[in-house]
């Protein structure tokens, strides 16, 4: 009996000693796995590269303490409420295919055991992936899909940081009204009749179809005449007939929702057919990519694009300049709409995890519904991030906003983007009307 007591005492002592020398699993730093589903190949691969780089930079700033970056998530390495847990991103390529996206989401959830998902750029893919997340009760944060319907489904496990196309399209029509009222920098008031005829051409997936409907609604609301509304496949090898139809409409304002390859083809075809409107406006996406500039060169001077981030933002947000410097060193390009939104989407994930203090879905859900990130923490010029958890737009960030930029040639002869809307932050005089091809 005495021998048994001695052995037991030694074992207890060793257990206590091990507890002192080695942290228990409870206090060990965890790994937080986020599945990231983007178009890494195919027609939108250029956007996918930007999205991936933006998300990777946000993860890097979270995982590595950077005292020189003025945002909370960069001050301490890892998620502090979870013992310094590091973010691990698991990337998957959906190729612009909604069915493939859904399959990848299932694999990430069931095989990779991810704690949540970020994605997916194409609204059509986000629609199917978010349905899978809803089915399995896995949190998903979307940073870059703008179809309004995504936050009108009453989902409990889906949150979106970016503004959607109703907001962006309203910005466009407010801009056109301001142009007729002399509010645009460098342009005298334009006769409303000069810009009253509009036409649109949008790719025919979930995103473009919704944009087309919103343009139709807004044109009626703002009393502009919609002369033509076209839908086309973003994989179309030829857009000649669509452009002939736009030309025949005699619209003075042409509006587009296009991904990268079709945006480039559309502008090439407009130039070939010498379509000469007063205004050409693209709904971000393909119109906001480095490849759009590098492929088309001077042909894009005067084209407008909506965005959530333009390089000129660094002049009004020093933090944006700090992050842009890191992004440019990583990629060779400035932050753009896609990369800035991917960065912000993962940043929202990091803030949610910090507040949750746990990777349990219920804790993440509660934190996402309560989170509020102030605007000074963001690279994008928004008032902040705060998700609606009641009403008709469940999970939608209510503090976002958009910009309209115009491609202009700088003093160095290079094409860049200047802010023309909102009017109070315009960085240059607008070029109006659109120059002759």
Determine contact, residues 392/373, Cβ cutoff 8 Å. no
pLDDT digits (tens, 9 = 90+) for 319-377: 999 999 999 999 999 998 899 999 999 999 999 999 999 999 999 999 999 999 999 99
Whole-number mean pLDDT of the chain? Answer: 91
Nearest to 304 by CA among 286, 282, 277: 282
pLDDT digits (tens, 9 = 90+) for 142-184: 999 999 999 999 999 999 999 998 999 999 999 999 999 999 9
Task: Report d(CA 100, CA 124) in Å as an integer.
Answer: 11
Query: 42 in the Ramachandran plot: left (φ > 0), alpha (ψ -120 to 50) or beta?
Result: left
Q: What is the pLDDT of residue 311?
A: 83
Nearest to 222 by CA among 214, 234, 230: 214
Q: What is the pLDDT of residue 23?
A: 36
* pLDDT higher than 50, residue 18: no
Q: Which pLDDT band holds residue 4 (cuts at 50, 70, 90)?
A: very low
Determine contact, residues 341/161, Cβ cutoff 8 Å. yes
pLDDT digits (tens, 9 = 90+) for 113-123: 999 999 999 99
- Number of neighbours of residue 380 by Cβ within 10 angstroms: 26
Bigger pLDDT: 25 or 211?
211
Nearest to 193 by CA among 114, 108, 79, 278: 278
Nearest to 396 by CA among 376, 362, 369: 369
For the entire predicted model, the pTM comes to 0.81
Q: What is the pLDDT of residue 322?
A: 95
Q: What is the pLDDT of residue 294?
A: 92
Query: 390 in the Ramachandran plot: left (φ > 0), alpha (ψ -120 to 50) or beta?
Result: beta
Which of 6-10, 66-70, 214-218, 304-308 is predicted least confidently?
6-10
Mean pLDDT along residues 294-320: 91
Q: What is the pLDDT of residue 307?
A: 87
Domains annotated on the chain, with CATH: 32-163+315-386 (3.40.50.2300), 166-307+402-425 (3.40.50.2300)
C-alpha dihedral sign at 58, 64, 65, 68: negative
Bond preceding residue 185 cis, omega within 30 of 0: no
Mean pLDDT along residues 375-382: 94
Q: What is the pLDDT of residue 284?
A: 81
Nearest to 122 by CA among 105, 108, 143: 143
DSSP string, 254-274: EEEE--HHHHHHHHHHHHHTT
Task: Report d(CA 42, CA 417) in Å as an integer.
Answer: 26
Query: 274 in the Ramachandran plot: left (φ > 0), alpha (ψ -120 to 50) or beta?
Result: left
DSSP string, 293-352: HHHHGGGGTT-EEEES--GGGGGT-HHHHHHHHHHHHHHSS---HHHHHHHHHHHHHHHH
Which of 13-22, 271-280, 347-356, 424-433 is predicted least confidently?
13-22
pLDDT digits (tens, 9 = 90+) for 281-297: 998 888 988 899 999 99
Q: What is the pLDDT of residue 288?
A: 85
* pLDDT higher than 80, residue 21: no
pLDDT digits (tens, 9 = 90+) for 73-82: 999 999 999 9
In sequence order, which ranges of 137-232 are alpha helices (DSSP H)?
165-180, 206-221
Determine contact, residues 158/395, Cβ cutoff 8 Å. yes
Task: Report d(CA 329, CA 60) in Å as an integer.
Answer: 14
In terms of Cβ atoms closer than 10 Å to its own Cβ (0-12, 13-18, 19+), residue 375 is middle
DSSP assignment letter at 92: E
pLDDT digits (tens, 9 = 90+) for 199-248: 999 999 989 999 999 999 999 999 999 999 999 998 999 999 999 999 99
């Amino acid at each position: 009996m005495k021998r048994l007591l001695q052995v037991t005492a030694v074992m207890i002592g060793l257990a206590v000693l091990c507890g002192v020398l080695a942290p228990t699993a409870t206090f060990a730093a965890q790994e937080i796995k986020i599945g990231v589903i983007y178009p890494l190949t195919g027609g939108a691969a250029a956007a996918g590269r930007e999205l991936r780089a933006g998300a990777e930079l946000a993860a890097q700033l979270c995982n590595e303490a950077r005292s020189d970056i003025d945002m909370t998530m960069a001050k301490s390495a890892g998620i502090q409420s979870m013992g310094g847990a590091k973010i691990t991103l698991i990337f998957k390529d959906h190729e612009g295919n909604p069915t493939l996206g859904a399959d990848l989401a299932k694999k990430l959830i069931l095989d990779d055991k991810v704690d949540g998902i970020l994605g997916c750029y194409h609204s059509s893919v986000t629609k199917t992936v978010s349905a899978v997340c809803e089915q399995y009760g896995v949190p998903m944060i979307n940073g870059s899909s703008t179809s309004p319907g995504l936050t009108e489904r009453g989902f409990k496990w889906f949150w979106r940081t970016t503004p959607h196309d109703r907001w962006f399209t309203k910005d466009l029509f407010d801009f056109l009204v301001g142009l007729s009222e002399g509010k645009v920098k460098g342009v005298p008031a334009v006769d409303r009749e000069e810009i009253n005829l509009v036409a649109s051409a949008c790719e025919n997936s979930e995103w473009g179809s919704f944009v087309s409907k919103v343009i139709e609604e807004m044109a009626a609301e703002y009393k502009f005449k919609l002369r033509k509304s076209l839908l086309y496949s973003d994989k179309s090898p030829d857009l000649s007939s669509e452009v002939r139809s736009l030309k025949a409409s005699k619209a003075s304002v042409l509006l587009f929702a296009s991904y990268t390859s079709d945006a480039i083809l559309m502008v090439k075809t407009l130039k070939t057919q010498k379509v000469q409107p007063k205004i050409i406006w693209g709904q971000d996406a393909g119109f906001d990519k480095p490849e759009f500039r590098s492929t088309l060169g001077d042909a894009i001077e005067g084209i407008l694009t909506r965005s959530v981030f333009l390089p000129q933002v660094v002049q009004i947000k020093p933090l944006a300049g700090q992050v842009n410097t890191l992004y440019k060193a990583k990629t060779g390009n400035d932050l753009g709409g896609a990369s800035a939104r991917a960065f912000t989407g993962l940043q929202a994930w990091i803030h949610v995890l910090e507040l949750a203090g746990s990777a349990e879905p219920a804790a993440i859900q509660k934190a996402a519904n309560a989170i509020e990130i102030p605007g000074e923490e963001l690279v994008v010029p928004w008032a902040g991030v705060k998700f609606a958890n009641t009403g008709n737009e469940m999970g939608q960030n209510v503090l976002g906003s958009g910009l309209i930029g115009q491609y202009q040639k700088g003093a160095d002869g290079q094409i860049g983007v200047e802010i023309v809307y909102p009017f109070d932050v315009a960085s240059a005089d607008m070029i109006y009307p659109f120059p002759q091809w």
